[in-house]
Amino acid sequence: MSYNKVFSIISSFICIFYGQYIKAQISGEFQTEAQYYIKDTITSSIEVPQKAMMNAYFNINYTYSNFNAGLRYESYQGPLIGYDTRYQGSGIAYRQITYTGQYFEITAGNFYEQYGNGMILRTYEDRNLGYDNSIDGIKLKLFPYKGIIAKALWGTQRFFWQKSPGIIRGFDAEISLNELSEKLDSLKTKIISGFSFVSKYQKDLDPIYILPENVAAMSGRLRITRGNITLSGEYAYKYNDPSTDNNKIYKPGQALLLNIIYAKKGLGFIIAAKRSDNMSFRSDRTATGNVLNINYLPVLAKEQYYSFATMYPLVTQINGEIGFQTQFIYTFKKASKIGGKYGTSITIAYDRTNSLKKNILPDSTFMGYASKFLSIGKDVYFETTTLEIRKKMSKSLNTIFSFINIIHNQSVLLGHIGEPIIYAKVAVADIVWRISDYKTLKYEFQHLWTHQDKKNWAGLQIEYTIAPKWFFNIGDQYNYANSDQNRRIHYYTSGVGYVHTATRFMFSYGRHREGVVCVGGVCRNMPAYNGFSISIISSF
């Protein structure tokens, strides 16, 4: 009997029998999405022999006293278009038991963890991306002294329905200096410092290269807060790690992330800078794509919400990039000249990511290139300038107006080699009209201008909500200026949803354009498709 089955039986036993006699808490969540695909000759969407496909997830959590146990069953009958087909199948993808004591917490099974900003270790699940790099093993968390947390972990990573060939060992310690004594706690300046060390092991089976079987990475971080301002930074270093990503070079990797955040009522700004160089860190040195990543490299770009603004996203370049981000938010007071009766807020943001400046070294060095730490390459990868104004016009009318200027190097970011850099401008008007206490109508007008790629787009989305049960939407994205007359396509969508207690049903139909789905710089390709979709999300 497999470990999974034994684990499931034990977990079920605990839930069913113990739950009846003692005060235990059981919670969970069910989520499924099924899609029925229709052949669409206009969009050249891919044909699906099965016609319908489905992704489903069922989580259950059991908590009693200091114990917590949980498992997640996943079923991919397809899986849905755009998801990695290696997910095909069903089974228990996640199961864990945790005990929390006064000085320690121990987890056995699958777990997610992040050290600092994640630059040497971050495991997480994101269903929108079809991303899950959980670790299966042991995690220990220690609280030896007030203000000190030490963590250790040891395990292998999830690789669809298998495990990574490499083993991960990690250690992290974080000290909140102010918590160490009452005297320090009384200081206005708050300091938190941390150190992480992660090592991976993978056997060297390569007959040509002498590969490091143990590859280590370490990072140090510091956060200082005084009043409304916070300064933070993290530096990470990775030892030689020849891999498919870096074309088997023995150059060490480095990354630096700096943040300044200021926030007070009505005013805030963020300034951030990042440099990462050769920081791909995976539990399989031959892996590519969104699999078996041990670390995560944060992106420095304002998060965009509207579909046209996300059409050309920033995709993290794991082999190296340098960038910075600034964002300024100001709220004009109510009853002021600009603030009006209900107040107005304005956001101005600018971010840019460039290549690293590299001097290519001879192949015989096996080091790939040299790059000065603060030198910036001439290639622009990504740039956005965003202006966003939020204004409440009346008690029943809320508006958001956005203008986003985008520079997107599709050749680098999406691998569209030889294609020109995209210069796009996006304007959005988001108007929410509260008709009554229960009824809301939302209009979202969007327009995208560009001379590259598929040229201009216009879009409209209308949502009607009858709280708390019903919601309806209808929309269209029209690529009206495509240089190919036959590709001037309407991508229309419609849907209806119903909410009953903690369960949400959604039924929709539409034609979906091809594109890239990104969350935090991690992306997956989404082919065009046409069809029906049913989704159910329920929690208990």
Candidate segments 7-15, 165-173, 181-189, 376-384, binder of another protein by CB under 8 A:
165-173
Could you give the CA distance from residue 390 to residue 529 in angstroms, rounded to a whole number? 34
Which position among 84, 179, 463, 476 is part of the footprint of another protein (CB under 8 A)? 84
Closest approach, Cβ 57 to another protein, in A, equals 21
What is the longest distance spanned by two Cα atoms in the chain?
Answer: 74
* Residue 516 binds to another protein (criterion: CB under 8 A): no
Closest approach, Cβ 81 to another protein, in A, equals 12
* Residue 47 binds to another protein (criterion: CB under 8 A): no
**Which is nearer to another protein, 85 or 189 (by Cβ)?**
85
Closest approach, Cβ 516 to another protein, in A, equals 14
* Residue 169 binds to another protein (criterion: CB under 8 A): yes
Q: What are residue 513's phi and psi, to 5 degrees?
A: -80, 155
**Which is nearer to another protein, 156 or 446 (by Cβ)?**
156
Residue 310 backbone class (left: φ over 0; alpha: ψ -120 to 50; beta: rest): alpha
Closest approach, Cβ 244 to another protein, in A, equals 5
Q: Per-residue x/- marks for another protein, 379-418, CB under 8 A? A: ------------------------------------x-xx
CA distances from 211 to 26, 207, 208 (A): 47, 10, 9
Amino acid at 200: K
Helix (H) or strand (E) holding 394: strand 376-394
Closest approach, Cβ 408 to another protein, in A, equals 17
Scored b (16 or more CB within 10 A) or e, 375-409 reads ebeeebbbbbbbebbbbbeeeeebbbbbebebbbb
The alpha carbon dihedral of 239, 316, 81, 465 has a sign of positive
The alpha carbon dihedral of 522, 527, 530, 533 has a sign of negative
Which position among 2, 41, 186, 247 is part of the footprint of another protein (CB under 8 A)? 247
Q: Per-residue x/- marks for another protein, 187-226, CB under 8 A? A: ----------xxx-xx--xxxxxxxxxxxx----------
Candidate segments 59-67, 80-88, 112-120, 384-392, binder of another protein by CB under 8 A:
80-88
* Residue 483 binds to another protein (criterion: CB under 8 A): no
Closest approach, Cβ 518 to another protein, in A, equals 17
CA neighbours closer than 13 Å in the CB half-sphere of residue 537: 7
Q: Mention every residue, 6+ apart, whose C-beta is less than 8 A from residue 68.
A: 61, 62, 97, 98, 99, 100
Q: What are residue 488's phi and psi, to 5 degrees?
A: -80, 85
**Which is nearer to another protein, 176 or 461 (by Cβ)?**
176
Candidate segments 6-14, 140-148, 186-194, 228-236, binder of another protein by CB under 8 A:
140-148
Q: How far is CA 346 from the centre of its chain?
A: 26
**Which is nearer to another protein, 154 or 449 (by Cβ)?**
154
- Which two three-digit tokens encode residue 125? 């699940």
Could you give the CA distance from residue 30 to residue 348 in angstroms, rounded to a whole number? 39
What letter does residue 414 receive in the DSSP assignment?
Answer: S
Q: Mention every residue, 6+ apart, whose C-beta is less than 8 A from residue 44.
A: 528
Closest approach, Cβ 51 to another protein, in A, equals 17
Could you give the CA distance from residue 505 to residue 246 in angstroms, rounded to a whole number? 45
Number of residues in contact with another protein under rule CB under 8 A:
52
Closest approach, Cβ 514 to another protein, in A, equals 11
Residues that bind another protein (CB under 8 A): 84-86, 103-104, 140, 142-145, 150, 152, 162, 165, 169-171, 173, 197-199, 201-202, 205-216, 239-240, 242, 244, 247-248, 250, 284-286, 288-289, 366, 415, 417-419
